[in-house]
Amino acid sequence: MPTTIMNGREIPVDAEGFLTDPSAWDEDLATVLAANIGIELTDEHWKVLRFLREDYATQGETATTRRVQSVGGVPTKTQFQLFPKKPAKKMAYIAGLPKPRGCV
Amino acid sequence: MSEPLIPQFDDDTDDGERMLAIICSKGNLDMAYPGLILGNAALGEGVNTHLFFTFWGFDMIVKSRMNNLQFSPAGNTALHLPMKDMRLPQAFAPAMTGPATSMLKKQLAELDIPEVPDFLDQIVAAGGHLWACRLSADMGKLGESDLRDDVEGIISASDFIEMTKGAQLLFI
């Protein structure tokens, strides 16, 4: 399994660079992951990221943009503003989770 | 030490930006969804997406009809009963529109797939564009006030073709 060095640690990732072990993630690392893709985290970003982490812990799956709206309470439009163009994948990447597998 | 491995989101350039044009021509509930699901997926991948509603697909954006799209198993031999692989005899199918519609809506709701109007709300919130067909409006004697407020215009087929130059196109 490939790994990459971030924040002075060796982090297991897949071929694209998504974390493969959610437990390797912490909030400091999220800041590094966000900076990697040009995003500076604000409180609004953190609301999404914390929802994704909590939802993954109970559901075992990464929430889709639909779920982040309907369960997490963050409107679709806001998600696109916070994580431009590809919100589902960017949110998952920064939250240290796999890409969502749901279609909607 | 090597550079960290970072996913390539390929979204830092607007040159040659992908565009998807979806022509929604069907008004049956089951046939409303392919365009909505694919359009929503495209928007989530940063693709500039335009939906054009024409003929029976017009019902998806008509305010008085969009909440009541129906699903009929008539003519659809792939409709299976809850017992796996058991088919609904076609002779019974024409009478089954009501229960089949209820069942499809229930199955979609269980997967948190939004109803058609909510799905269009989500598509517009994600930056999608909705267009109505001029001929369909004229045939149905319908105007802008009959349509969802977020329909950007009632346009001709030529207008749509011109607007979506270079787009990938889906006809549903």
Within-domain flag for A40: yes
Pairing of strands B48-53, B19-24: parallel
Indicate which CATH number applies to the domain containing B23: 3.40.1260.10
Residue A26 distance to chain B (closest CA, Å): 17
Cβ-based burial of B57 (10 A; exposed 0-12, middle 13-18, buried ≥19)? buried
Q: Are strands B19-24 and A9-12 parallel, antiparallel or unpaired?
A: unpaired
Has residue B79 been placed in a domain?
Answer: no
Establish, for the pair of chains A and B, how many residue pairs have beta carbons separated by less than 8 Å: 67
Distance CA(A68)–CA(A80), nearest Å, equals 12
B15 touches chain A (CB under 8 A): no
A104: in domain:
no
> Is the residue at A101 inside a domain?
no
Contact call for B4 and A4, based on CB within 8 A = yes
Residue-level pLDDT, tens digit, chain A, 104 residues: 788 888 888 889 999 999 999 999 999 999 999 999 999 999 999 999 999 999 999 999 999 999 999 999 999 999 999 999 999 999 999 999 999 988 88
Q: Is residue A99 included in any domain, yes or no? A: no
Q: What is the reported pLDDT for B16?
A: 59
B109 and chain A in contact, CB less than 8 A: no
What ipTM, to 2 d.p.? 0.87
Residue B109 inside a domain? The answer is yes
* Within a domain: B13: no
Residue segments in chain B with a per-residue pLDDT below the cut of 50: none
Cβ atoms within 10 Å of B118's Cβ, excluding its own: 14
Domain that holds residue B58: 19-72+89-171
Question: Which residue range forms the structural domain that includes residue A35?
Answer: 3-94
Is A80 within 8 Å of B41 when comparing Cβ atoms?
Answer: no
A102 located within any domain: no
Question: How many domains, chain A?
Answer: 1
Contact across the interface for A80 and B127, Cβ inside 8 Å: yes
Whether A72 is a known active-site residue: answer no
Q: How many domains does chain B have?
A: 1
Give me the pLDDT at residue B123, please: 97
